[in-house]
Amino acid sequence: MSNTTQGVDARAYLAGWLQAVTGMTIADINAIPDDKWTEGHGGCTRPANALISDTVTMLKWTTAAAQGEESSVYNDMDALTETYKDKATAIGGLQEASAAFGAAITSASDEALNAVVNAPWGMPTPVFILAQIAVSHIWYHDGQLNYIQSLLGDGEVHWMV
C-alpha cells in the first residue's frame, strides 16, 4: 500500500527544522568552553558569541519582515554581541528569537510570505525565501561553532548526543 501526500505544509516543515537547528546550536553552544566563548581563534575569525548575535539578528529581522514591519535590528548587532558574552543569555536570546520567528512564520498569510522586501544585503527577495535563509543561517553558524570546537581539540558531535 502506498501513501500519497496531498500537500506539503511548508510553514510546518520550516518551523520543525527551525526547532531542530536551534536545539543543535544550543548543544554546541554548551560545548564551547566558557573561557573560549568570547575569543577569536586566529586570522579574522569571530568569537562564538558574535556568531550567535549574527544568528539572532537575522531571525529578528526576518520575524519583522514576516509581520510586514521594517527592522533596524542590524544596527544593534554589536551591542547584542556584548550582551551575549554570557552564554546563558545567548542561549535565552536564541530560544526567544527562534520561538518568535516560528510563531511569525506559521501565522503569516500567504500574501505576507510572498511579499518582496529588500534583504539586509540589498537584494529584493520574497519573505518566505528569506525565512528559509534565516533557518539555514542558524545551521551555518552552528557549523562555525563545530569548527571552533575542532580547533580546540573537541571532535565530538554534540548535537547528536
pLDDT reported for residue 156: 87
Report the interhelical angle of 10-31 vs 127-151 (nearest 10°): 20
Structural domains of the chain ordered from first start: 16-28+45-153 (1.20.120.450)
Global pTM reads 0.93
> For residues 17 and 19, what is the distance between their CA atoms, to the nearest angstrom?
5
Q: What is the mean pLDDT of each run of 10 residues along the chain (161 residues)?
A: 71 96 97 96 94 98 96 95 98 98 97 96 96 97 95 87 59
Task: Judge contact between 136 and 58, C-beta under 8 A.
Answer: no
- Between vectors from CA 85 to CA 83 and to CA 86, what angle results, nearest 5°? 90
pLDDT reported for residue 2: 55
Beta strands, E only, the chain? 116-118, 124-126
> For residues 60 and 71, what is the distance between their CA atoms, to the nearest angstrom?
8
